[in-house]
Chain A
């Protein structure tokens, strides 16, 4: 390939504005080389620079006693869990690649986030995946769904990391633009944490892992534009995953770190060699000089531009401790991992690239880096016009269905509520033998080897709520993920977040983004769960319009004693069922409204953050005191679905439940409304008084609403039977809905 002449026009083709190009000229004091133009274009792309989000992200609460590193400083967030152990965790999107090449797009998304975790010296102990698709009855959606789930499964399964939780929603809003957000949680001893830094000028820089090919060039730029008719042609931008090589790199990297050979470690993710090298140098106020002739290449005739921009997967940058270079080589050879010293840390602060004896790029590293020299913008924001319309929709005039049992059956077969075993049985959920709560309940619980502790984890993000009310909807995503974690008995401690939005240059999309970030901040401050890091994905649009604004929250909680863990399902007939929290009958944005009335309308449910905090503290203490037989969050489908699930999830006994309510709220809104800050609990009769007293202490309105039975499943309202079903029939519907849809 011959290098074209660099002009403002060529810069434009690289996604750089005229203003940005002029800034580059000023930084360099000359016209950039073709390689330099490529480097600037990827580093200043939305994906790498966070140029349109950084200002807002800085408003998030990022402080906390347990936080060991500042967000954005390292490959992932790191929190202290006591006993000399720390947890590294992060969530990241791979939406655009997955939209055009579902299997590889999703697989490499998993691979990327795994590397972020083990680059810190942490062994990955769990993976989670938050997915969004169009309507599942659509054939293209089925194809994407099948490919993405297989891609996630095949990669994580081969790596030997259990994929244990997540969530999925199906809604037409995501039709051409599915969301794939992958999260990894890892564990590391404090004294073995590796940092993404260089310390000593003269240190050798290794590239280890796969050799570099032409795959994924401009992947970061691709992720920074809307998906359109031309996106299909970008399929070659999508990288190809090799989980076996990833497994070898993981073992080699962890061994290099544990044997004290590395001064710094940085994953090669988006923008490959370019971003890993320049970020390490910029963060350390040092320079780095690379000799591309020493980089192992997969293809003949690659030019520096291609080598620097390649996003070939399964590569890692390691800065050696002086004198430990041979040991690094030995470890790599043991694991049969390619390794080459291809650079040196320098003092001058530049990213300098040599090729065939010539300097082909020489750029102040700090000028490339997000939050340093890379541009930072605040975009125009305007409240979208649709909001008035949906908010003014009078839902009280909707006809009330007569057959509420029929409605419950329809809700249980909605793919948004139905059992997700078609997905998670394709994932190895049990490898590492620490999974104490498998998928299907409120949150996954993973034991920490060698301790009595466990981690609870969950992702959440109801896009419909955020669409109706970005600020409060985003707060609900935080609250619900924390509530899920608290239902297992674990104390929610910190979040990571993945912000999936539309084109930031469109004022209404940017307004949604701003509001949502504010909402996350509100909730995280109130619940004392700081933000440890995350990822922003803009340009999630397709020819039909933007997706629902979808902030996905990855919540982490700590359970001090695994024996105190609580599960979501009812245990024994005779146990008393309690409702913690208050019924309000808020139906806006509910699954019921969508399934029965075909509407996404109204306002999202209200959220009282102090009440939410009280409820969660109550749940955690109730678990600690051993008062709970079960605890289950009330979310999609409301009370009725939560009660049914607590029966169905006990697959061995399949108990029923008889509950009764006295309320002026209309029946369908009462039992299907998705009012926040509520949970269904069951307790042994002899513990009933104690749970009441504890609820009083936390001022959580808590009432006995019924009893666990052998059969039947009944709901009474104002002394009238309004819903009756056979739990075995409900189970069949709930368990087979997605599987039946996927039989081609």
Chain B
């Protein structure tokens, strides 16, 4: 008998998180799943089936994006959870936090334009065999917005080789037709990387905001596919 229980998302709330409510609304109202907020000072994950680190400015990010978040109690729990195979999704600032705490490799530099950029972009699904992308076709192009100051992904050449070799690059910035070109790389990111997964496949970080692309009224429903993949993986 398949598990008919609703999936329970734990959404981490740092004092400067500002996309926590958006993720909450997406997974509850649109995906029809459960969600709970996990306060940054909490010490347990409240029995959730996946953890989402949402976008925002965790602790103001005056030092470096995500740099202070690593010292919060909840982050220690998330590290343990991920090491045991728990599902962790980091969106935008959440991705930056995952890099800071070492759950994902690499680092973020400021956007090449040195400006904050908020707009719809297209990303190509490079790996549809992850628990975050199983609802996507291989090479499918998703229209999802970005909104960040520091999304210019960087990793040393050895690290990059490993990422590419292990198929850990999950999303790449692309044209609406799926072409990978400089003109469609919004922030200067290395190899046009928009999202990566860890070796084990249970931790994903991406700069685009899937929760902002979960309703046709908002301009795109493509982001829903990421949450739907996660729900599918949970039900399986």
Contact = CB atoms under 8 A, between A and B. Distances in A.
Given A158-B57, A244-B57, A244-B59, A431 B115 contact: no
Contacts of A426: 115-118
B33 interface: no
A430 B62 contact: no
Contacts of B219: 438
B18 A159 contact: yes
Nearest to B41: A334
A428 B16 contact: no
Contact of A157 (B26, B116, B145): B116
Nearest to B20: A160
Interface stretch (B81-89, B133-141, B210-218): B210-218
Chain A, interface residues (CB within 8 Å), range: 20 to 34
A430 B217 contact: no
A428 B57 contact: no
Contacts of A154: 116
A482 interface: no
Given A158-B16, A158-B60, A436-B218, A430 B116 contact: no
B147 A157 contact: yes
Is the interface on chain B under 10, 10 to 19, 20 to 34, or 35 or more residues? 20 to 34
A153 interface: yes
A239 interface: no
B159 interface: no
B18 A244 contact: no
B221 interface: no
B22 A428 contact: no
B200 interface: no
Given A336-B15, A436-B217, A430 B59 contact: no
Contacts of A447: 217
B218 A433 contact: yes
A430 B118 contact: yes
B211 A244 contact: no
A313 to B, nearest CB: 14
B81 to A, nearest CB: 24
Nearest to A162: B118
A160 B61 CA distance: 14
A522 to B, nearest CB: 37
B128 interface: no
A427 B215 CA distance: 21
A371 to B, nearest CB: 37
B145 A430 contact: yes
A335 B15 contact: yes
A433 B59 contact: no
Main secondary structure of the interface of A (DSSP, over half): mixed
Interface string A396-423: 0000000000000000000000000100
Nearest to B30: A433
Nearest to A247: B16
Interface in A237-254: 242-245, 247-248, 251
Contact of A433 (B15, B26, B116, B118): B26
Contacts of B26: 433
Interface string A423-445: 01111111111011010000000
B22 A431 contact: yes
Contacts of A428: 116, 118, 147
A430 B18 contact: no
Contacts of B4: none
A425 B119 contact: yes
Contacts of A251: 15
Given A158-B16, A433-B218, A425 B117 contact: yes
A121 B59 CA distance: 24
Nearest to A437: B219
A180 to B, nearest CB: 18
B16 A244 contact: yes
A432 B16 contact: no
A432 B21 contact: yes
A435 B218 contact: yes
Interface string B140-153: 00000101010000
Nearest to A438: B219
Interface string B173-217: 000000000000000000000000000000000000101101101
B98 interface: no
Nearest to B145: A430
Interface string B1-36: 000000000000001101101100110000000000
Contacts of A425: 115, 117-119
Interface in A126-163: 150, 153-154, 157-160
Contacts of B21: 432
A559 interface: no
Contacts of A153: 116
A160 B211 contact: no
B66 interface: no
A320 interface: no
A187 to B, nearest CB: 13
Given A247-B57, A436-B217, 8 more contacts: A247-B16, A247-B18, A251-B15, A425-B117, A427-B116, A429-B118, A433-B26, A433-B215
Interface of A: 150, 153-154, 157-160, 242-245, 247-248, 251, 335-336, 421, 424-433, 435-436, 438, 447, 449, 562
14 contacts: A242-B60, A247-B15, A247-B16, A251-B15, A335-B15, A336-B15, A426-B115, A426-B118, A429-B118, A431-B147, A433-B211, A433-B218, A436-B217, A449-B25
